[in-house]
Amino acid sequence: MTKEEALVERDGMQIDGGGPESRQVRAGPAGFNADYLKIYYGKLFPCADIYKWLSYGNDGKHPACDHSYFGRREFSFTLENDIYVRFQSFNNANEMENAIKEKCPFKIDFGPVYSVDPAKRHAYAQAGNNVFTPVERELIFDIDMSDYDDVRYCCSGADVCLDCWPLMTIAIKVLDSALRDDFGFNHILWVYSGRRGVHCWVCDARARRLSNEQRASIADYFRVYKGGENNSKKVTLTGPVLHPFLARTYTDVLRGFFEEKLLCSQKLLESEERCQKILELIPDESIAAEILDRWQGNRRSSISKEDVNKARWEQLKHILQTGKQKAQGLRRCVEEIIFSYTYPRLDMEVSKHMNHLLKAPFCVHPKTGRVCVPIDPDNCDDFDPTTVPTLSELFEELNMSGMRAESENEWERTSLGKSIRFFRSSFLHPLLKSCKEEMESSYSAKLQQSRNSLSW
């Protein structure tokens, strides 16, 4: 790395990134190692597929292709010691691949497609032309497990396990269904973040061209969980009936998950403290006190500890959904409790703004060593984050099969193979087919328009 290359940008400020002598190989508990990472980028990272994806058909020979398209995409590399190299751009797949192999970033983020080459933005600014602006960007969603810490008791922060991970599964089911059924999007990529959450990329042309205001409207469509940290009640469902999307989500996904899985896996009503937390979501104090008296009576009953969560929940539902409480509208409390504990919690700002960065699929998370692999939304119940390939495991798999010379599809020899095959068959190929059809249709329409304008 030259001295000039060592000067990198961090949010527009120049900082010294150091030379090669400052680089250290760090291997954490997960086996994340810069040497392994170099091999990963050299043999396994699907650069060609990433290039085809982000080109959206503009890498072909069709006369409608915009050959500047890929070169206007922002890439951000996070190097060792949290050095951020932003506003990078590449003209083709080779340039991108060579830069990744040379810099060996600990993380790669994709930004928007800008009106001009982001690497040359300063030249446009000096010329006094205010033309550097984002013009396309996938509609993205970021869901982080740490945002659920108030409703899970098995883990907290960045930790996840198989008891709380189903909260991410529910988020995928809810959003994927609505994005397809309510908004008509087809090309949706779900990706494991590598540690504690999931990312969603909506890649339809219509989604990529949404304005910030339109993105904000879609994000608000999904917004149910509201309120500050000091508000115990963050879900309020108003109106005589639920919105059709919320009603469908509640009936088809949330209610069964809460009552059949989450209630017992997180032991939501097993202790006095956890019971009190749910009672705080009931606005009528006298009714909450009645439910608490009933629960305290369970101690003198024959209800086993294994059954207490379900028994107490049934008692709560019975009190809230019958008699005068039903007439007072408290029946909605049951739905609000279930939404509070199960409904997806989105990082709203990520979805609202076109210029947000998001981690690239097939990156390796430096804290866990796990690869950010795609998730099949149709089979997301089967996804297990604890079995996702790690950098060290992939290195061992390559070793066991013999470190051959450079060849195509090295990933076929590793456990990463099924993820890349899924990415290609279920996402990339249908997307590129759609891009080609749209490009040909648009081009034909312009030709016809041109002919019509020349006709007498």
CA distance 41 to 333: 51
Higher pLDDT, 228 or 424: 424
- For 45-71, the pLDDT digits (tens) are 999 999 999 999 999 888 889 999 999
Task: Identify the active-site residue in 59, 142, 176, 336.
Answer: 142
CA distance 415 to 380: 18
Inter-residue contact 390 to 370 (CB < 8 Å) = yes
pLDDT confidence tier of residue 328, bands split at 50, 70 and 90:
low
Supply the pLDDT for residue 301.
58
Give the number of C-alpha atoms closer than 13 A to the C-alpha of residue 290, restricted to the C-beta side.
13
Higher pLDDT, 329 or 340: 340
Quick check: 20 pLDDT over 80?
A: no
Supply the pLDDT for residue 431.
98
- Position 237: which residue type? L
Task: Identify the active-site residue in 59, 74, 117, 136.
Answer: 74
Higher pLDDT, 294 or 7: 294
pLDDT confidence tier of residue 321, bands split at 50, 70 and 90:
confident
Supply the pLDDT for residue 81.
86
Is 35 designated active site?
Answer: no
Region of 359 on the Ramachandran plot (φ > 0 left; ψ -120 to 50 alpha; else beta): beta
Percent of the chain with pLDDT over 70: 85
CA distance 415 to 408: 16
Q: Classify strands 139-144 and 188-192 as parallel, antiparallel or unpaired.
A: unpaired
Is 384 designated active site?
Answer: no
Strand boundaries in 65-164, DSSP class E = 73-79, 83-88, 107-114, 134-136, 139-144
What lies within 8 Å, CB to CB, of 291 at 6+ separation is 279, 282, 315, 316, 319, 320
Supply the pLDDT for residue 306.
62
Which residue ranges form the domains of the chain, and what is each CATH number? 3-139+190-201+353-445 (3.90.920.10), 258-342 (no CATH)
- For 153-201, the pLDDT digits (tens) are 999 999 999 999 999 999 999 999 999 999 999 999 999 999 999 999 9
What string of DSSP letters covers 266-302? Answer: TTTTSSHHHHHHHHTT-S-HHHHHHHHHHHHHGGGS-
Is 149 designated active site?
Answer: no
pLDDT confidence tier of residue 27, bands split at 50, 70 and 90:
very low
Mean pLDDT of the residues in the chain: 87
- For 86-138, the pLDDT digits (tens) are 999 999 999 999 999 999 999 999 999 999 999 998 887 665 656 889 999 99
Task: Identify the active-site residue in 97, 136, 138, 144.
Answer: 144
